[in-house]
Amino acid sequence: MDCPHFETMRTDVAPSGDGCVECLATGGHWVHLRRCLECGHIGCCDNSPGRHATYHFHEIGHPLIQSFEPGEEWIWCYVDEVGVEIEGAAPSPSHP
């Protein structure tokens, strides 16, 4: 894989909460949740009105997100625009 960011990812970072930080603060809603693999920020996906996970990348610059949905086992790099499925690994953390 041609993405150096995957070599530096932290999968042990704790999620910032059970929902999108910005949506919860403003009364917004989300479709799916994503977790930043650098700081644990939980943001909503690009199908959500706020697109807060992508906003977090543009604002803060953390390149890797992981799905925060039950049963979804993948990681995406915003910088290199590449994703990977996590096969055979422990389940990704997800919201309740």
Q: Which residue in 82, 29, 37, 30 sits closest to 56, CA to CA? A: 37
Walk me through the domains of the chain, giving residue ranges and CATH numbers: 4-80 (3.30.40.10)
Sequence-distant (6+) residues with CB within 8 A of 76 are 34, 64, 65, 66, 82, 83
Rg (CA), the chain: 12
Count, in order, helices (H) and strands (E) of the chain: 2, 5
Percent of the chain with pLDDT over 90: 67
Can you give the pLDDT at residue 19? 96
DSSP state of 54: H
CB 53 within 8 A of CB 60: no
84-96 confidence digits (pLDDT tens): 887 655 556 666 5
